[in-house]
Amino acid sequence: MDQILYYFFNWPLISPYLPEILQGFLVTLEMAVLTVVAGTVLGLLLAVVRAYGIRPLNWLLVVYVDIFRALPQLVIIVLAFFALPAFGIVIDPMPATVLALSLVLSAFAEEIFWAGIAAVPRGQWEAGRSSGLTFTQTLFWIVLPQTVRISIPPLTNRALGITKGTTLGSIIAVPELLNVSSNIQSNIANPTALTAGAVLFCLVFFPFVYLTRALERRYAPKR
């Protein structure tokens, strides 16, 4: 027990590094929030575009969604950071990670929102059009509110899974929580820093997990 406490819960040993660990925590939190917001908004926008049924755009959307759903997140992060400079686009490590994860989330979000749009009864569309609303008005005023409600449970689950990919930013030297904790662990030869990182990860994601469950209970189909 003494060895476990020394190696995994040696708080006095890592106390000088706590500001650095906290900074990594803030970076992780910022990346997670930006990824969820950007990925969800872009996914909804793509689903709306797809709803208009413009065939060339829909083909491009299907290709986009299939690519970003198929490729591993790490591959996309590496491509965003190392490949884009070849086209004259240089992105810092943190924005590159957020961009990559946002694109992945947007692909999944588009499919979720599109399924939500398809799940709205056709009578809702017909009622809107028969009352004099345009296609766009029917889509935004009648269909999308129902779509968002239907999509919340699966979307929150997917967002939770993808935002945990912020740890992959360590590959391109993003000073996020796992990267900082790992570096400290290497410097002091004690994994207590990783324990502190795990605790802070729980502080980030546990509230999100509970929120996900609450939303699932609230918006799940009634049986």
Residues 74-98 have pLDDT tens digits of 999 999 999 999 899 999 999 999 9
In the predicted structure, residue 211 carries a pLDDT above the cut 80: no
Residues 16-62 have pLDDT tens digits of 999 999 999 999 999 999 999 999 999 999 999 999 999 999 999 99
Q: Specify if 6 maps to a domain.
A: no
Residue 202, pLDDT score: 86
Q: Specify if 12 maps to a domain.
A: no
Q: Specify if 83 maps to a domain.
A: yes
Q: Specify if 4 maps to a domain.
A: no
Q: Are 65 and 131 in contact (CB under 8 A)?
A: no
The token pair at 111 is 């499919």
Q: Are 155 and 40 in contact (CB under 8 A)?
A: yes
The token pair at 4 is 């476990």
Residue 164, pLDDT score: 86
Sign of the dihedral through C-alpha 6, 11, 13, 18: positive
The token pair at 112 is 């979720």
Question: What are the CA-CA distances from residue 135 to residues 24, 40, 130, 132 (Å)?
Answer: 47, 23, 11, 10
Tally of domains in the chain: 1
Residue 83, pLDDT score: 93
pLDDT level of residue 113 (50, 70, 90 thresholds): very high
Q: Specify if 39 maps to a domain.
A: yes
Gyration radius (Cα) of the chain, Å:
21
Range of the domain at 193: 19-219
Convert 96-111 into a string of H (helix), E (strand) and C (coil).
HHHHHHHHHHHHHHHH
Tell me how far apart the alpha carbons of residues 18 and 33 are, in angstroms, rounded to a whole number: 22
CATH of the domain at 184: 1.10.3720.10
Q: Specify if 5 maps to a domain.
A: no
Q: Specify if 144 maps to a domain.
A: yes
> How far is residue 205 CA from its own chain's centroid?
12
